[in-house]
């Protein structure tokens, strides 16, 4: 296909979607944002491979700078793999993680730039700034990987699952156990499943109002 035809097609895909839908309705916004809670307890309803694929196939469309996509994911599901994760968890996060059908280890790859030309062929030379500059690559990978982790939580909620993010773990232990021999590092964990309401111990906590934390200039 010629470049012009590809451009026409790309624009048509956008306009076709806009013709179909202008915005999410209130129920969808409630599901993904307003009524979505962090879950501490999960029912035994399993999360299938198909669901994990469906979630990733949404997450991958979330934007990252220069389309770099540095997030790397391990979905921990088997009891054996959960046991490997257990020693790294803060005590308060152990039980809920053992019960959750899936725990995602959201990691990031500081050597993501090796794929720069694949992911950003329009300006491949922009990847050169990361070569031999570990601090820059690390910061960039962590920033974009964190964004992708947030996309993961929203995608899981969008397909009807519940999530519980966790920063309470020892990253060095997770890295040694799950990412040994690779440059990948862990960022945060996220339990995924169907929330058991027994784990909800109170109402939604305070959120800042617009005027407190936003300005329009
Ligand atoms: C990245 C991330 C890390 C978190 N770490 C933990 C954790 O280690 N343990 C825990 O019980 N909750 C953890 N939480 C849950 C937050 O405390 C919770 O989202 C917050 O109190 C707001 O509650 P809500 O999502 O129900 O409104 C984490 C949430 C996120 C997004």
Three-state SS annotation for 109-148: CCCHHHHHHHHCCCCHHHHHHHCCCHHHHHHHHHHHHHHH
Q: What is the pLDDT of residue 173?
A: 98
Global pTM reads 0.97
Q: Which numbered atom of ligand 1 lies nearest the CA of 96?
A: 11
If you count them, how many residues does the chain have? 217
Q: Give dist(CA 71, CA 2) in Å, integer.
A: 32
112 C-alpha to ligand 1 centroid (Å):
28
Q: What pLDDT does residue 13 have?
A: 97
Atom of ligand 1 nearest to the CA of 93: 9
pLDDT at site 43: 98
Q: Which residues of the chain have pLDDT under 70?
A: none
| C-alpha separations of 107 from 14, 51, 134, 184 in Å | 31, 20, 17, 6
List Cβ neighbours of 164 (8 Å cut-off, separation of 6 or more): 38, 39, 40, 96, 100, 190, 191, 195
Q: In a mutational test of the pocket of ligand 1, which residue from 33, 165, 197 has the highest number of ligand atoms less than 8 Å from its CB? A: 165
Task: Please name each of the domains of the chain with its CATH number.
Answer: 37-198 (3.40.109.10)
Residue 108 has a pLDDT of 98
Q: Whose CA is nearest to atom 6 of ligand 1?
A: 166
For the stretch 61-98, pLDDT in tens is 999 999 999 999 999 999 999 999 999 999 999 999 99
CB 141 within 8 A of CB 17: no
Atom of ligand 1 nearest to the CA of 37: 26
Task: Name the residue with the closest Cα to ligand 1, atom 12.
Answer: 166
């Amino acid at each position: 296909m010629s470049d012009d035809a590809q451009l026409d097609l790309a624009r048509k895909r956008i306009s076709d979607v806009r013709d179909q839908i202008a915005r999410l309705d209130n129920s969808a916004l409630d599901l993904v944002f307003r009524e979505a809670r962090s879950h501490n307890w999960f029912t035994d309803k399993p999360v299938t491979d198909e669901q994990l694929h469906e979630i990733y196939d949404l997450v991958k469309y979330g934007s990252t700078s220069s389309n770099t996509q540095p997030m790397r994911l391990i979905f921990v599901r088997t009891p054996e793999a959960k046991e490997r994760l257990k020693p790294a968890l803060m005590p308060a996060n152990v039980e809920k993680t053992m019960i959750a059908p899936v725990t995602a280890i959201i990691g990031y790859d500081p050597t993501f730039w090796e794929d720069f030309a694949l992911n950003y062929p329009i300006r491949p030379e922009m990847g050169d700034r990361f070569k031999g500059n570990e601090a820059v690559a690390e910061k960039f990978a962590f920033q974009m990987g964190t964004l992708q982790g947030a996309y993961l939580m929203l995608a899981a909620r969008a397909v009807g699952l519940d999530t519980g993010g966790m920063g309470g773990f020892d990253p060095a232990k997770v890295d040694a156990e799950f990412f040994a021999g690779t440059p990948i590092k862990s960022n945060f964990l996220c339990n995924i499943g169907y929330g058991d309401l027994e784990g909800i111990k109170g109402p939604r906590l305070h959120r800042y109002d617009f005027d407190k934390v936003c300005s329009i200039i």
